Amino acid sequence: MKTDPDNIKTVKLKKILRNKIQEKRDKLSDHERLTGSKLIAERFMELDCYITSKEILAYHTFRSEIDTTIIIREALKQKKKIILPKVSGSYLDLYYIKDLSNDLSPGSFNIMEPCPLEVYTCII
């Protein structure tokens, strides 16, 4: 099988860019991260697709990523169904959660993941 040189170059550039962005993000203060997270959450929750949605597929915050729990908590208050991924080998299974405090436990890479409750089957 022949390897595509453009694809290899793209993968390498993507990795370099990801590392640069992560370094920059890691340098943010807690205050900057929280302020940015609140702004992102506010703008996201103003979108029509959020307002009209009944289900939200999200991920749980990890390391210096934005704080997605702001959106998740508000969506739960609004009675939206929240779906989070759980690593299962080389796959991601999707689960409904109802409570951030009780429905999650540390999983792969110590990322908070759903404790299997109600399986959400994703049809692709």
Q: Structural domain boundaries of the chain? A: 5-120
Overall pTM > 0.95: no
Give every strand in the sheet of 55-57, ordered side by side: 55-57, 81-88, 91-97, 118-120
pLDDT tens per residue, range 9-49:
999 999 999 999 999 999 999 999 999 999 999 999 999 99
Residue 121 above 70 pLDDT? Answer: no
Main-chain dihedrals φ then ψ at residue 43, nearest 5 degrees: -65, -40
Q: Residue 119: what residue type?
A: V
Q: Are 27 and 58 in contact (CB under 8 A)?
A: no
Considering the domain 5-120 in this protein, what is its CATH number? 3.40.50.10420
